[in-house]
Chain A
């Protein structure tokens, strides 16, 4: 009886979100303090199951079993006193937790390490930031490497330059370095380090010990450990993050005070410069920690309020494939209920627009609605994937990505490139094959369109960076000049990868616009700082032997398309997922990096694995996504999931792209858009061009240089730089003015031979006109209320002697300018 009561109380508590009794734990559980005065900050956390659910450090009482070995302060900082072993205990609300501390080398003199201590102090205090001495030109005569990526040069600058006045080994406190930083002397950067602070002391001691530089034998940092690794908290909760660095000699050090912190989602959790987290809202945030050239993260989850129906809502939500299990698991963790299933009208419009960029015809809609088979959605998806418009749409998409355009390519070359992409899409060429064909393309660019990739990117750095964005979904550009401040990539790795692209030769061919691309056996691109070429090395991989005469591009392609490559499949998965789900797992879609974590890592891994094991079959991936219940959810928010915009609890509505809107205008009005001018490559202005017959749709254009005010206004990409940011999906007043007053839509409504002409000939009545335009544009019937409102306005217009054609034009305009039309939902 008693047990039962206890159980039911527990259930009650958990289902209403009340915190259960949690156990107290000390982190880190094992501490090794090395050297005199070494310290480690401890965290007393409440743990439920395996999850950290609260920070009790502030309230807990700390004691040391052996103060002659280690002290512990009220706030939980353990300090080495003498060699030996001690146990640190924290007590809070009747619970106790303990951790072991081993103290060594307290009798050995401290030897400050320039690399492991001095540089981190300079970084932590912002001395070598881009705004200060880390700027390319330095500041006030002192130039340090950005965030300390070049310690050797920094040591030289600090100890030798400026007549070696920056340090004074006899009287460290008189060193320029310290006088400036403490503002006892004029300093443009202001006060950076308090006199007699701990940082000050370390710097002074280092100078007093002769300001030694790098030592070949000194331990190197290997990894960072963050405490807690993850926590589930609620708004207004606080949490201290503790960071421990591990070195090659097995030593570990508390580096919390020199680490830099940032939050991936400030609206969910903020973090201050000391690593103190404050939960601000619901959702997930990664607290990113940077120290030395390493980054690590602590995952903060702040579940939504949900409701007591949550479990039921989750249980009832359909599961069509593995995607749904993983999406729903995330939703459960965050207490977000999924919306219901989209209706058939919503689904067919959505599926056509997302997969092929077209609207279904009224016939197609009606046939689909009448179909009562259980698998009709799956069959519709299969049929869509076979349509020629599917090929148009995805060819356009990959042409955006690959910058197919007459902007920098002569027209025959651009067309040849386009044909290569188009044939690859039409044959559903596996993505690894597609990438390899491009990256190892040789021969005439007019015969092998893929070779134009090397014509567009003749410069080795451009080629290296574009390849990273295009096929790895990541930018490594920063690392060209300095170690990447947001990523793990170093300048050495950048130039190692660049070496893989240093041996491409381009020669003029026989025909106009023709060049031939060939791998060549020699040629090097020097590392700008080292002055010599780095061995040709893919990111984090083994270098190709310098003596090898193999096409280095093939070596890169082998690495890129190997199933073990951690980036290649994900880069594509993220792009395709975003196309259908409205938000990429990692935003932006080509900004994959360690410091920008995915919203659902398990799902991301599973999609990439599925894609890889199915031989990089893009259609298979599309099918999996479109058939998932997650994709087929309604866009209508529930009260409890309205705030979610990234965990896929509902279909995220989005504005249609420029090309899709323009084509839909043509489809609905039956008036094609003329494309008869093309921007000139160099001379300025544009040329008349008759190569696109009337009826060519915007999504069929092989070139982004075709003149169209509408497409530009609605954010068509330039295709000049590989970046998903080129396409702009936001709305502007210019767009609204253009739809209201501009020529694109108004001219189609007034054109001869339009659908309106047919309706006038047929003399259809108001009700029929409303029914038809709704079906054509919105793929649904009007509701009785909508129909009444609209017909009433039409009748008022007729009563006021408005010409019939004008009334119909206004009706069609009102639907084609509305949100429901301009958005996919």
Chain B
């Protein structure tokens, strides 16, 4: 009888030990399953990367939308101009108003402009071993600004830099070796095109002690051309 009891106790102890073993086993399995399963999820792109991707995608969508809207504006403006033209034909006394609107638009840069004008090209000076500081012979945004201001003062109707139309709201910013105009970066050489009377624009640039003189003094290669016909694109501001 005692032996049987002993046997039973032994069996009980064995089961308890087994349950302990299985408890540990189950715990290890479940835990590693949970942990390693999570790990495989973590090898996927990190949250910051995903966030960046998300922002990039959003930006692309926004840019596309902007482009669409800019195109829409352009077509709408063309419509308006057509409408005004028809107006011009039908009612002679409004001709003056329509012409004024056209001039104002030219000033704003929302329509492409064609006409006689000047082209000023600003190039970095040649590398001079004596000049240690490269700042002394590259074109800075201040030089471009000076040219633009002089052209504006001299009555230029429309100005563009490297094909980017300048409006009254435009900004020109120095961003290292390049300049940023309305959010677009442009490298040297800078081609400043202005529509206006070349007979007025070029002498005003060429004044003694004027803009071109000071630019040349700053080791910048300046070329000035007078053109019979110049074409400026409309203002692009989708980006």
A, B in one complex: no
